[in-house]
Amino acid sequence: MPKSESTYLPSVHLHLEDLEAIVQIVGEAGAGVTIADKSHEFTSFEEMRQHRGDTITNLKIVGRSPYVSVEFQRWPPFGHHLYTSEQDTRVIGAFHRIYEILRKRQSILSKVFPRPLPTIAFFSFWILTSIRVADLQAQSLLSITGYLLFIIFFAGGLGNSGLLTTISLRRQHEAMSFFARRRDDLLLAIVSAILGGVVTLILSKYFG
């Protein structure tokens, strides 16, 4: 029996050229490509744009025979999914070509804080903030380090969920405002500033 292959995806930033490349790859692997959101199927991305606007939050691209699907769903989180039910060379090749497109477009936060780092940071935060010691300075250091780990968990959780995903039905050079294009960079700069401030506080207070 054929085995399936699937992977969950972090937040990504996609433009029309990325979507067209995915559709082409799915089409080359078989026949019967469909484009849809939660409620409707569309004959093209242009038709989808006319009905849904330039930016969408839900998208499913499906090749029926053999079955290959790429699904983006901002809510609930972790809703992005790449799946195939086949294992022949052509389909697996298509699967990995699509994955490579998505990997290049993934959120910067998911690259800086990849899985399973946010999960490790969360459990480390929970352990450190549960510890109680008599020495006041040591207790403060444990607490500050714990909250530092929580920031890593929060930033990594955002990047590895679907909450930061943007899907534009226009080409990259015409699609987004400066803020939208640089949103990940700004978020990373804020997180880095907070982390840097906490580390500086720890070093100056306990090792200065």
Burial of 129 (0-12, 13-18, 19+ CB in 10 A): middle
Q: How far is CA 191 from the centre of its chain?
A: 17
* CA-based torsion, 208, 195, 151, 123: positive or negative: negative
**DSSP3 helix / strand / coil % (the chain, rounded to 5):** 55, 20, 25
- Does residue 17 surpass a pLDDT of 90? yes
Distance from C-alpha of 44 to C-alpha of 61, rounded to nearest angstrom? 11
For the sheet containing 166-168, what is the strand order?
Answer: 13-14, 166-168, 55-56
- Percent pLDDT > 90 in the chain is 22
Least confident piece of the model among 92-101, 154-163, 165-174:
154-163
pLDDT, tens digit, 9 for 90 and up, residues 42-76: 999 999 999 999 989 899 999 887 888 899 887 65
* Tally of CB atoms within 10 A around 18: 20
pLDDT, tens digit, 9 for 90 and up, residues 154-169: 777 777 777 778 899 9
Q: How confident is the model at residue 1 (pLDDT cuts 50, 70, 90)?
A: very low
CB 74 within 8 A of CB 59: no
Helix runs in 9-135, H state only: 16-29, 45-52, 89-104, 108-112, 117-130
CB 78 within 8 A of CB 161: yes
Burial of 3 (0-12, 13-18, 19+ CB in 10 A): exposed
Q: Which helix (H) or strand (E) holds 187?
A: helix 183-206
What was the pLDDT predicted at 35?
95
Token look-up 């800086």 returns: 112
pLDDT, tens digit, 9 for 90 and up, residues 70-82: 998 876 555 678 8
pTM: 0.71
